[in-house]
Chains A and B, each alone.
Chain A
Amino acid sequence: MTETNRLRNFCIVAHIDHGKSTLADRILELTHAVAARDMRDQYLDRMDLERERGITIKAQAVRLTYQLDDTYVLNLIDTPGHVDFTYEVSRSLAACEGAVLLVDAAQGIEAQTLANFHLARDAGLAIIPALNKIDLPQADPEETAREVGELVGWDPKDVLRISAKTGQDVPALLQKVIELVPAPQGRREDPLRALVFDSTFDAYRGVVAYVRVKDGVLPSRAKIHLMAANADSEAEECGVFAPEATPVPELGPGEVGYLVTGMKDVHLAKVGDTVTIAGKHRAREPLPGYREPKPMVWSGLYPAEGGDYTALRDALDKLKLNDAALQYEPETSKALGFGFRCGFLGLLHMDIVKERLEREFGLELIATAPNVEFHVIRGNEVIVVHNPSEMPAPGTYDHVEEPVVLATIVTPSTYLGAVLELCQSRRGELIDITYLSPERAEVHYRLPLAEIIFDFFDQLKSKTRGYASLDYEPVGYERADLVRVDILLHGEPVDAFSSVVHRDKAAQYGRQLVERLRELIPRQLFDVAIQAAIGSRVVARETIKAKRKDVLAKCYGGDITRKRKLLEQQKKGKARLRRVGRVDVPQEAFIAALRVDQRAGQKAGQRTGGKP
């Protein structure tokens, strides 16, 4: 419906917190997309979780009209900045011809600035760099412009300097977008090809796909065909986000919008699929889809109340539509019953998924300590292990391999020593150090994923006063000396507490976990032994002494009601405990291992750090 030459599809990419969503706010205002009284900060961060945490989790597309020499239609996608959500960025890029690369002028280039720049360039997008937050007194536009100019190959003088907060020079930025971002290419006459770059499940309308039409026209009501799923459906409606969902008669070439697919089966509408028209007007070749992201960490998710297993499966199926990076496979735990082993892109992603499942689907979940994926090599066979308790017994295999990443750390040069020390203590291998400027270094390290996924980032921040930033990408698997540490409770191994750790850190890890469990597991009516074992060798042991006193001191006429309520509360508390063998274990104990990991890492870091 819009002539493609007046269409501009672009996204905003940046390091976390550099102001993408705030810039989107100003653009919404300039295009009069939102009435002044409805405006609020980070308008496009619609999820409660996003607003509470002040970060963008989901990419959001909006369609805007901008009056300049002519009337332009802009499809803008605001993307998240956190490394765990890079997959959202790469999918957004495939729906755009241009990207605004925003850089906080007070911070300079950070690790995700580099990562997102490379993604956008590799996707062949026109890149428009801009410095943000120049209203801040500590902003250093000259230096940042120099760094950014060098990165993207622009004359620093041409790099725009804006304030997303005050709105300063945002119109100039839009002008540049219209000038430099090419109009989309597609032709109306061609068979329809539309890329599904995201989707959600609506309780009434079923699967809603977010699409970018590449070629041809998508009419509002059409018999559609999903090429990868090889499924047909009667589409019910298509529309655009303006910024609220607004039906339109059709989506023309280059346009971005939504499609109510008419499908109820959540497994069919996969992100990356190509929508075409069913029947003889079908397209021949699908569009290149997306590379499935590889999960970085795995963790068991179990219903806190045993019976909710099917509810959890349903919820995962539906959430997966809106979170394509999520993976899951059923598993059974002796301690926790039926649940799922889930793959996540990082700990923040894991946390967000758990929260969304709980909030959006009314579930209550227990998450076990996360771990990376291991490969156990036995002759020619590779056994993929997502759950430490599935690790074969020592002696029954040749060796184990763990995932390795290439990490990029941007740090002020003054903290370079501390950063190198930290990486060394995490079994890292230095690749190179380059300088963005004499004051700022870009360090590349090969590191085992298991060493950086948990607390590395916190450590990095605390050793550099918050100035360093981190990005990483997987580069394969490498052999490592890893062992499984098991926890025995009252003599019985508890599968949910097993973990795989490097041999040098295993005993210390075991001691700390046992110690932590002793703090978390309440006293029972009998002594409970907690042991950590590597194979049959016990490396740590603690005892929870039997409880002796649990009685309300007093109870008279006025108290009886209150005391009964106290007892009822105690009963509810008990119901929340998991019976493992004869021992009642609180839910927090199952994620205790995560925190132990962090502390073990810290201590190991300090110890090695002390060596000359």
Chain B
Amino acid sequence: MTAGLYVHVPFCLTRCGYCDFNAYAGLGHLASRYVDALEAEAGLWADAWRGERFGSVFLGGGTPTTLDADELARLLARLRERFDLEPGAEVTIEANPDTVDEEKLAALREAGYTRLSMGAQSFDQRVLDALERVHGPASVHRAFAAARAAGHTDVNLDLIYGANGETLASWRRTLEETIALRPEHVSAYALTIEPATPLGRKVQAGLVPGPEPDLQADMFDLACELLGEAGYGHYEVSNWAFPGFECRHNLGYWRKQPYLGLGAGAHSYRDGRRWWNVRPPAEYLDVVEHGQRPVGGEERLTPEDERLEDVFLKLRILEGVPVASVDRDVASGFLQQGLLRRRDGHLVPTERGMLLLNELVLALAG
């Protein structure tokens, strides 16, 4: 079992209205100090993680591509020195369309980044406006073309559906335009309103309607249909990929393989223990610069926690749970309602079941 390495870069050009990630606009001046700190933090963990083989690296954020290509190249090189990266490891970097051009993307490829994950979100300007994204559909096309020109052969596009004003027809166009580009991987998320965000506050104040769950359900169905027809395999509730292009790093999370997170607010997991770094970048810098591990909290999973997570994650990635582990009446009810199906001695959610996954998890985890 290989491990994953996550690196968090908390900088963004602007804040998107719906985002509740540990991300900040206007902290660009901290960037080079932050890269130094990441490298220092890697040093603080290197011994403890010696002997662990890493099958994937994921630079997420925030927007890692706000750092320059040189910094990103140097960072990856340092990580290779500190940790045992498998040859052929998957190395993903998240990119915002407005922060990349062909030259930078080529440099990243050169530096060893093998996979590109781009936040497209929608090809409808009104939807992008409703999400308070700064880029337009044109920059996605431009950035995607640049990625291909720079030689990237494993590209993901992130989409979000169900923003205020988005119709099923508009979502269909976004899906069609996405498919026309033929990225190797597509993540399509139902917009979730988080209370502690600008959008969340507007929804709470009644200024903007929240997403309509039935419409989002229709949108999910449409994504299943169109992406399926185009040859994408549906391998997690919100993720589709051409065969062989499933994201190894994310699968690691879902299969409960160990992972080490570096950077502000990054989470780690190993041997039934989960811990996380302090969230504010300034605090993170301060602690690391004093030569300390920046751990802000931890939890040890109880057997009940493990069971709940297991069922939850196994259902999400359609591996399902063994038939024998579930109360018969509960299972047969869901089988009859068409929310679960049987596959190789396992109970696996159907497409309708995926939309009601919380119900399934709570019932099956007992």
Contacts and interface: CB of A to CB of B under 8 A. Distances in A.
B267 A557 contact: yes
> Nearest 4 CB-CB pairs, A to B?
A548-B217, A551-B357, A558-B267, A549-B217
Interface in B223-240: 237-238
Contacts of B4: 557
Interface of B: 4, 6, 189-192, 213-214, 216-217, 220, 237-238, 250, 253-254, 259, 261, 265-267, 269, 274, 276, 299, 305, 308-309, 312-313, 316, 337, 339, 352, 354-359, 361-362
A554 interface: yes
23 contacts: A525-B339, A525-B356, A526-B337, A547-B213, A547-B359, A548-B213, A549-B356, A550-B213, A550-B356, A551-B237, A551-B354, A551-B357, A552-B358, A553-B189, A553-B190, A555-B254, A556-B250, A557-B253, A557-B267, A558-B261, A561-B276, A570-B358, A574-B362
B261 A557 contact: yes
Contact of A554 (B192, B213, B337, B361): B192
Contacts of B309: 560, 564
A557 B354 CA distance: 20
A557 B269 contact: yes
B192 A553 contact: yes
Contact of A558 (B216, B276, B316, B361): B276
Given A557-B6, A561-B299, A549 B214 contact: yes
Contact of A549 (B213, B276, B361): B213
B354 A564 contact: no
A280 interface: no
B308 A568 contact: yes
A384 interface: no
Given A556-B253, A570-B362, A571-B362, A549 B216 contact: yes
Given A525-B356, A549-B356, A560-B274, 7 more contacts: A549-B217, A550-B356, A551-B237, A551-B354, A560-B269, A564-B309, A571-B362
A567 B308 contact: yes
Contacts of A567: 308, 312, 358, 361-362
Nearest to B220: A549
Contacts of A557: 4, 6, 253, 259, 261, 267, 269
Contacts, number: 93
Interface in A560-600: 560-561, 563-564, 567-568, 570-571, 574
B265 A551 contact: no
A549 B215 CA distance: 9
Contacts of B190: 549, 551, 553
Nearest to A560: B309
A571 to B, nearest CB: 5
B356 A548 contact: yes
A552 to B, nearest CB: 7
Given A554-B238, A567-B362, A547 B259 contact: no
A192 B313 CA distance: 77
Contacts of A547: 213, 356, 359
Given A553-B192, A560-B274, A564-B312, A525 B358 contact: no
A551 B355 contact: yes
A403 B211 CA distance: 50
A328 B239 CA distance: 58
B308 A564 contact: yes
Contact of B316 (A526, A545, A550, A555): A555
Given A548-B356, A549-B217, A564 B305 contact: yes
A574 B308 CA distance: 16
